[in-house]
A and B are shown apart, each in its own frame.
Chain A
């Protein structure tokens, strides 16, 4: 029954949808590289310009924002990798009373994400005096249930003989985790890191709540202020700013496209 027409229609829809999907990005490129009067007019003869990037760069402290984002993302990732490795190993390889309970405690965070608890977590941060600091933005995310779960699943597949052999070699405790489990779980670490970095590079609500000044504000929060209609910036400059903001992640993504998508798949299958 699947006629040639059905196949053609299907193919056509696929390409059309793909074009629709990249339209916002294409538009951002169009507006950013052309003078403001062409932001809403599409002409093949529109002159190219870098002017929008210059004025965007002048109107907002992008460098500072980007630095903040990098610092926050790094703190979170670094802590997550360590904390999740230790917890994932305990849940996968140690037998003890209360393991099921501990695992259930961990899994709660998959449902009750820190975003939902902004009210109480803000109170906690105020109490700790960490409002408007990089650490404050990262704090609720330093342990990730998702990361613990992924690593637990991976560590469970490591053969017992390997662990025993390492023990015979004289390795113990943390040494075994570091020398045996971590190298074997490399694909999982990579997958989790890419997912985590893109999540926190893009995170908005919590950073908005806990940052007040340029000193700690990440790109997303900075862009929200920059792009607000009240700030009176035009489309072309906003588009240029948007490209500056998403640039680093977008370039990384385009270069490591395959790895990125495989990582998301890898993380999804577990």
Chain B
């Protein structure tokens, strides 16, 4: 275990580290710096303005709105995707017929581009001719304006997100389920345990490490998955379905204010840092069973 300067190791790491630093670490630092400066345009020299951008941020109703939306979006999509993913994995792993087809059906959304399938969802959601409202009309219900009503637009986005994600998370549960020993369940069956009891007392606790992993990924996705907004709602109506990353994009590339966009980026980075911290704490508290 001779620890010393190792030129070969650093040379091997050089390409990876320089790329990562150039496009992850350096822009992170630059975002912090840009957030305390301001200029009339990107061409003009920026001057130091202290926390002025953050004062604007605190007064910005749209910022609070997107933060609130992102909170509900995470709360609405993360537990639902996880619950569905577990159910799907249990089904695919069970002895019912056509499990291959089930697995294929659940997994397919994962490999479809969000942006192109959003076009199809746009049709499902459209007010009069849309599939959902046609189906509802069959049972005599007048469907809502899925994307145009500020009260439901965000929920409509959530439904599509869950559809897109659940099958992806299923894969991780499926992998975990296949490592569980069948004897465990045989024994429980001999004891006369019901399916629900077996799930609650054996399967679910043993899946805990997977759940933690999926939870973190689902949380990250709740902040970075905004592709469908571009097609479905563009954050509207009146920011009712706007999310932080989409607002960052709008600020930087529609309103052309890279300084305020950097300030918003810093908030996003802080949220990601907190997520990372929570993850480490959870791992420390031995949610792991292994």
Contact = CB atoms under 8 A, between A and B. Distances in A.
Interface string B92-126: 00001010011111111111111111111111100
Contacts of B141: none
Interface stretch (B25-33, B60-68, B72-80, B148-156): B25-33
A99 B4 CA distance: 10
A109 B24 contact: yes
A90 B114 contact: no
Interface residues on B, range: 35 or more
A27 B262 contact: no
A268 B116 CA distance: 26
22 contacts: A2-B195, A14-B102, A15-B98, A18-B102, A18-B105, A22-B108, A40-B129, A87-B17, A90-B12, A91-B13, A94-B6, A95-B3, A97-B5, A106-B16, A112-B269, A116-B269, A117-B31, A119-B252, A123-B30, A173-B8, A238-B123, A242-B120
B28 A112 contact: yes
A83 B245 contact: no
Interface string B207-251: 000000100000010011011001100000000000001001100
A117 B24 contact: yes
Interface stretch (A43-51, A139-147, A163-171, A182-190): A139-147
B249 A118 contact: yes
B108 A142 contact: no
Nearest to A198: B111
Interface in A205-251: 205, 208-209, 219-221, 223-224, 227-228, 235, 238-239, 242, 245-246, 249-250
A269 B138 CA distance: 45
Interface residues of A, number: 89
Contacts of B87: 17
Interface of A: 1-2, 6, 10-11, 14-15, 17-19, 21-25, 27-28, 31, 39-40, 82-84, 86-87, 89-91, 94-97, 99, 102, 105-106, 108-109, 111-124, 139-140, 142-143, 145, 148, 173, 198, 201-202, 204-205, 208-209, 219-221, 223-224, 227-228, 235, 238-239, 242, 245-246, 249-250, 253, 257, 260-261, 264-265, 268-269
A171 B252 CA distance: 52
B9 A99 contact: yes
A261 B220 contact: no
A250 B112 contact: yes
Instruction: Describe A's contact surface by its main secondary structure.
Output: helix
B196 interface: yes
B227 A86 contact: no
B140 interface: no
B2 interface: yes
Contacts of A219: 113, 116
Contacts of B123: 27, 31, 39, 235, 238
